[in-house]
Amino acid sequence: MQISAAPGSGSYRDSVASPDTRPAQEALSAEAFELFRTMSAADQGHALAVLRLLRGEGPVSPDLSAAALLHDVGKADGGLTLPYRTAIVLLETFWPQTLKRLCGYAEGSWRAPFAADAHHAVIGAERCLAAGCSMRTVALVRYHDVALEAVSSDLCVDLERLKRADDAS
């Protein structure tokens, strides 16, 4: 992913160049691609990298492709600027209990981005459902950030692939 200078702008969204979204356009329905386009350039680039990684490993079903591209769509419009993302990584590493406290219901407050990040899998699954994605894609998005043991065995193989590619991208 190409990082560019962003004159006159400090936002995370504006600080990353737009990726080539053709693989997403080819893999998604028109409605799902519209949803994909609601994500920041950085998150679009991350999602495309996850799909690329999966495709490098072997065949990828349409449901898993869509989940790779949309798994973080719940973060769109969540106010997750670079300072918030940095703070989340630091809090997760050093003060997880503090992060947990910050993630409660917080609409309209400065804490809202913490909540958006914490609940992005649920929010993303709802958005995918509304965009007409398959139930398997919706489930993969919903559970991409939970422990595999908590998920039905039917989903496990795809979910494990998605989580591994997500962590590596």
* Nearest distance, CB of residue 81 and Fe ion, angstroms: 17
Where is 4: in which H helix or E strand? none
Q: Considering only residues 56-95, where is the footprint of Fe ion by CB under 5 A?
A: 72
* Nearest distance, CB of residue 56 and Fe ion, angstroms: 17
43 interacts with Fe ion by CB under 5 A: no
117 interacts with Fe ion by CB under 5 A: no
**CA atoms within 13 Å, Cβ hemisphere of 133:** 34
Candidates 18-26, 76-84, 131-139, 160-168; binding stretch for Fe ion (CB under 5 A):
160-168
Structure tokens at 169: 């991208």
166 interacts with Fe ion by CB under 5 A: yes
Residue placing its CB nearer to Fe ion in the complex, 131 or 140: 140
Candidates 26-34, 80-88, 108-116, 161-169; binding stretch for Fe ion (CB under 5 A):
161-169
Give bridge partners of residue 3 from the DSSP assignment.
16
Residue 24: CB partners within 8 Å, gap ≥ 6? 33, 36, 44, 47, 48, 51, 69
Residue 3 DSSP SS3: strand
* Residue numbers at the binding site for Fe ion (CB under 5 A): 72, 166
